[in-house]
Amino acid sequence: MGEFEFVRVESDPENPAVAVIRLDRPKMNALNAQVQGEIAAAAARVAGDDAVRAVVLYGGERVFAAGADVKEMAESDYADMATRSRALQDSFTAVARIPKPVIAAVTGYALGGGCELALCADFRVAADDAKLGQPEILLGIIPGAGGTQRLPRLVGPARAKDIIYTGRMVEADEALRIGLVDDTVPTADVYPTAVAMAARYANGPALALRAAKEAVDSGIDADLGTGLEIERLQFAGLFATEDQQTGMRSFIEHGPGQAQFTGR
Order across the sheet with 131-133: list the strands: 109-111, 131-133, 169-171
Report DSSP state, residue 168. P
Given the residues 10, 14, 72, 116, the one annotated as active site: 116
Residue type, 15: N
Residue type, 211: A
Are 194 and 121 within 8 A, CB to CB?
A: no
Are 227 and 219 within 8 A, CB to CB?
A: yes
Does residue 116 carry a catalytic annotation? yes
CA distance linking residue 246 with residue 233, whole number of Å: 20
For residue 59, count other CB atoms closer than 10 A to its CB: 27
DSSP strand pairing (131-133 vs 109-111): parallel
Angle, in degrees to the nearest 10, between helices 206-219 and 242-254:
110
Given the residues 10, 61, 75, 136, the one annotated as active site: 136
Report DSSP state, residue 59. -
Backbone angles phi, psi at 171, to 5 degrees: -70, 160
CA distance linking residue 187 with residue 56, whole number of Å: 16
Q: Tell which residue, 121, 104, 133, has the closest CA to residue 213.
A: 121
Does residue 214 carry a catalytic annotation? no
Is the alpha carbon torsion for 163, 164, 166, 168 positive or negative? positive
Residues classed as catalytic:
116, 136
